Amino acid sequence: MGERDLYRGCLLGGAIGDALGYPVEFMSRDMILRKFGKDGINDLFISKGGKALISDDTQMTLFTAEGIVCSETLRRQGKMSEPSDEVFSAYGRWLFTQGEKRLEPDMKGWLIDHVDLHNRRAPGKTCLQSLLSGMKGTWQSPHNWSKGCGGVMRTAPAGLFYEKGEAFLKGVEFAAITHGHPSGYLPGGALAFMIASLISGSVIREAAEEAIEVLESWDGCQETASKLRLSINLAGSETDDVEAIARIGEGWVGDEALAISTYCAIRHGSDFRKALAASVNHNGDSDSTGSITGNLLGARYGVEAVPAGWIDPLEIKDVILRAADDLYDRYTGTPDWKIRYGMGKKSVNL
C-alpha cells in the first residue's frame, strides 16, 4: 500500500464517518435506536438525490487542505506565505459557500467553484460567528473562549501535509483560527500529530500516546490530555462501547470528540464498519466523532480498508480524492495546478 492510499483513506474515511453520523447528529442514542433498530445506524443514509451527504466537517476539512496547498504553491513560486493565513482565507471561501456573503472572500482555489459544496449542513455557530468577525484567531491571542469540536474536526489535512514535528503546531494554528479555548485548539494539534504519526507507520495507540507527550508541553492541556489517556485505557478494557463513550463524554467539545474517536479507532482497529458505527451511535456530536474516527482509520489502514459500498454513494467523492492527491503531490506546477491553486479572480455566481 502506497502512501497516497493513506491520504485518500484519511479524507475518504473522514467523509464517510461524517456522512454516517450526519443524519443522527442531533439525536440521542435512544432516538437513534428507535429509528434505526437495536443496533442503531450502521449503513449510509441515502438522500433523495441518491447520495450519502457529507456535512460541514468534511467541507471544512477540504478547505483546510486547499489553504495548505495554496500556501505551498505560493512558497514554491518564491513568495512569502504563512500557511495559517491561507487556511484562514480558505475558511472565508467556506463561509461564502454557507450563504454568508457579507465579506468578500479571497477568490483563490478551486473548491468554491463546486456547486455541491454550496450547501449548509448544520455548520457550527462558533465557526460562522468567528469567521464573520473577519478576524483570524490565534492561540496566542484568541478572540473567543470556545472549546467546541469545530476546531479539531477539520485539521486532519495538516497531519497529511506536515511531518509530526510541525503537524501539531499547524493543527493548533488552524483550529485556533475560530476556537480560542485550549480544549478547542489543542485537540486540533493532537489530531494532526496523530495523523502524521500514522502516515509514518505508527499504530493508533502509539500515535495517541505520543500525542499526549506533546500535549503535555502546552498550557491548558489537562482536559485534552486526560480525555485522550482515558480513551486509551477504555479501549484496552472490557468496557463496552456504549459505556466507554458515555464515560468520555458527548463530543460536542474538542477534547471529547478527539477522545471518543481515538477510543473507537483503537478498539475496532481495521474494522471500519464497527468502528464507525460505534463512533456515531451515541448521544453526542455523531458526525464529528464519525469524521475524526474515519480520518484516523483511513490514515492507518488506507483506502483499501474503506468498504467499497460506502465509497460509491458518497457525495463529492471525486473532490475528496482530488484534495487528497493534491496534498500528497504538494506542488506540481502544471498549468492545471496553477488554475486550481492560483490567484485568478473568479466570477462566482452560485
Does position 5 interact with Mg ion (CB under 5 A)? The reply is: no
Taking the mean position of all CA atoms in its chain, how far away is CA 157?
8
Q: Nearest Cα to 131, choosing from 141, 143, 145?
A: 143
Q: Nearest Cα to 295, choosing from 9, 54, 87, 44?
A: 9
Q: Which is nearer to Mg ion, 57 or 72 (CB)?
A: 57
Written as nine digits, the cell of 233 is 485505557
CB of 55 to Mg ion, least distance (A): 3
Residue in the shown chain whose Cβ atom is closest to Mg ion: 55
Written as nine digits, the cell of 199 is 502516515
Q: Which is nearer to Mg ion, 5 or 287 (CB)?
A: 287
Cβ 236 vs Cβ 271: under 8 Å: no
Q: Report the DSSP beta bridge partners of residue 148.
A: 253
- Can you tell me the distance from the alpha carbon of 253 to that of 187, in angstroms, rounded to the nearest whole number? 10
Q: Which is nearer to Mg ion, 210 or 287 (CB)?
A: 287
Q: What is the DSSP letter of 147?
A: -
Q: Which is nearer to Mg ion, 252 or 328 (CB)?
A: 252
For the chain, the straight-line distance linking the first and the last C-alpha, in angstroms and rounded, comes to 39
Q: Which is nearer to Mg ion, 214 or 320 (CB)?
A: 320
* DSSP per position, 161-226: HS-HHHHHHHHHHHHHTT--SHHHHHHHHHHHHHHHHHHTT--HHHHHHHHHHHHTTSTT-HHHHH
| Contact letters for Mg ion, residues 21-60 (x by CB under 5 A) | ----------------------------------xxx---
Q: Which is nearer to Mg ion, 57 or 250 (CB)?
A: 57
| Contact letters for Mg ion, residues 265-294 (x by CB under 5 A) | ----------------------x-------
| Contact letters for Mg ion, residues 55-94 (x by CB under 5 A) | xxx-------------------------------------
CB of 18 to Mg ion, least distance (A): 6
User: Count residues contacting Mg ion (CB under 5 A)?
Assistant: 4
CB of 109 to Mg ion, least distance (A): 21
Residues forming contacts to Mg ion in the complex (CB under 5 A) are 55-57, 287
